[in-house]
Amino acid sequence: MNTIKDIDLIRQKAQQDDADQTCIYVHMGTCGIASGAMSVLGAIKNKIKEDGAAKDVKVVTTGCAGICSQEPLITVKIPGAEPVIYKQMDEQKVLRVYESHVKGDSAVVEYALARGMEYQIKERKASAGHIPGEKVMTAEIPGIEELPFFALQELRVMRNRGLIDPAKIKDYIGRDGYQGAIKALTEMSSEEVINEAIGSGLRGRGGAGFPIGLKWKFAAAEKNDIKYILCNADEGDPGAFMDRNVMESDPHSIIEGLIIGAKAIGAHQGYIYCRAEYPLAIETLNKAINQARALDLLGENILGTGFSFDISVYEGAGAFVCGEETALMRSIEGKRGNPRPKPPFPAKAGLFEKPTVLNNVETLSNIPQIIVKGADWYKEIGTEKSPGTKIFSITGDIENVGCVEVPIGTTVDTIVNQIGIVSPDKNLKAVQLGGPSGGCIPKDYMHVAVDYETLQEYGAIMGSGGLIAMSDDKSGVDIAKFFIDFCQDEACGKCLPGREGTKQMLQILEKIDSGEGSPDDIETLKVLCGVIRKTALCALCKTAVNPVLSTLRYFPEEYQEAVKTKVEMGG
């Protein structure tokens, strides 16, 4: 059996590896692969083999580097010199980078995105834009600290982005991975783990924002020999890909979070519920779980600590409703994924009617660092009510599509206009936050801070982190229709308000959009929103009305204009 000492030896060796070797990082998330990263990887590997340079040049595959719209990306790191990130690579470009930069020590300026890597930003800022001891490459390439997309982020959950191979557990261990789990299993009682989580103020990142420590405390208090801890990886919001990014790039952070959570509540079995539409994430998770088992970080008597815990990946069929916790649990049980009324809450009767905790991917990935560095460290950033960071997948009418992690409380303006940058040929109209259950923040409210309470005041929600920037060529009616169409299609059909109410709302929106609507239809729409919000069975349908209410609130003139033609024609 492996011991804690063995893990420490792996960590020490991993930290020494690659330090004195030229590395080419090829970023191979789904976004990179879809953009052609496989051919880039093949071209550079073949060239290195052809040159007989495999001992001198190492190729490292990592997950997404964050800025998906610039994929395929590679990073060239030569000992003693600044790393350089190259964008929009293809087979010809990567071979030119290899000849010029790797073999010739001369960066290719026209392909370069930035000098430096994200983990160096703070040190580069403190040292006038370079790392002491590193050769400065040409100043024609901007330093990474000069690019708002990278410089305005605070990477905690995604701290290993672009640095580790998710298929190699030693890479994660080399970045102090599993130290939180080891500390929790060897130095802390369950109560101490829970108190650390409560003290951190971490709130669930799946949308509801419920304090994770309290959720653990409720489950821990239940007297039952069988308990479960689950990871909700059923990311189904249109435009959301934060969790997929973490699963593909840093799967061990999720596994470690589950181990710590299992210790907290006394669970010995966990499940990661991931939709089958994420094949790379599922493959990566299963590989990571098997590697953790091989090192005795999962299974019976973990590292000789006496604590046993294991994880299985459950593939969902892609139903949006299975993102709701009780529906997800029914799906794992092999039943139809329908929500059920609460109470009883899952902490008392969840999966197979046993005490169960469900946390999402991002929430769990926060946990290891909280245990290692403490609750006070975690609360250094964010807001008083919502400490820490939040990951957003930003997309729509912006130049920098990708995943960003910022302190909670960051303004919408910073995320959209400074990090995302609105496309030059577009005029921003609004930002949709929180997916189909969220709402719009119009361009006049870009100063709004992104936190749970403030967003609700403006009719939007944090949600799981999907953020879509929309230009003024979309009408409020179009926006509402798109999201209601999605919710109506994905409603499970169990309750009347969700099944028939969303259908009626969609029919009315289509009528208004086609010019056949009347002022009475707008009033009916408002009444339906109120009824569904009060009477639908689960949160998914209760909040499905949000895009309609939000667009009615901020763009009422567009609804009035859409029904005006009918009125003028005497309809």
Confidence of residue 463 (pLDDT cuts 50, 70, 90): confident
Between CA 526 and CA 510 the distance in angstroms is 15
- Give residue limits of the domains in the chain: 4-152, 169-377, 386-471, 476-568
- What values do phi and psi take at 365, rounded to 5? -70, -15
The pLDDT tens digits for 516-556 are 999 999 999 999 999 999 999 988 889 999 999 999 999 99
pLDDT, mean of residues 223-236: 96
Tokens 């109209």 sit on residue = 429
The pLDDT tens digits for 58-82 are 999 999 999 999 999 999 999 999 9
CATH architecture, range 4-152? 3-Layer(aba) Sandwich (3.40)
The pLDDT tens digits for 366-379 are 999 999 999 999 99
User: Residue 72 is encoded by which pair of tokens?
Assistant: 């395929």
Q: Which fold has domain 476-568?
A: de novo design (two linked rop proteins) (1.20.1440)
Between CA 503 and CA 516 the distance in angstroms is 17
| Cis, bond preceding 497 (omega within 30 deg of 0) | no
- The answer to whether the beta carbons of residues 123 and 151 sit under 8 Å apart is no
CA distance readout (Å), 424 to 291, 400, 427: 46, 12, 8
Check if CATH label 3.20.10.10 holds for domain 169-377. no
Between CA 457 and CA 462 the distance in angstroms is 12
- The answer to whether the beta carbons of residues 75 and 24 sit under 8 Å apart is yes
The pLDDT tens digits for 70-129 are 999 999 999 999 999 999 999 999 999 999 999 999 999 999 999 999 999 999 999 999
Check if CATH label 3.10.20.600 holds for domain 386-471. yes
What pLDDT, on a 0 to 100 scale, did the predictor assign at position 570? 52
Give the amino acid at 472: D
Q: What is the 3-state secondary structure (H, E, C) of 131-142?
A: CCCCECCCCCCC
Confidence of residue 168 (pLDDT cuts 50, 70, 90): very high
Mean pLDDT over the full length of the chain: 95
Q: Which of 269, 182, 258 is nearest to 2 (CA)?
A: 182
Q: At what angle do helices 556-568 and 476-490 cross, to 10 degrees?
A: 100
Between CA 43 and CA 439 the distance in angstroms is 45
pTM of the model: 0.95
* DSSP per residue, 418-476: III-B-TT--EEEEEESGGG-EEEEGGGTT-B-SHHHHHHTT---TTSEEEEEETTS-H
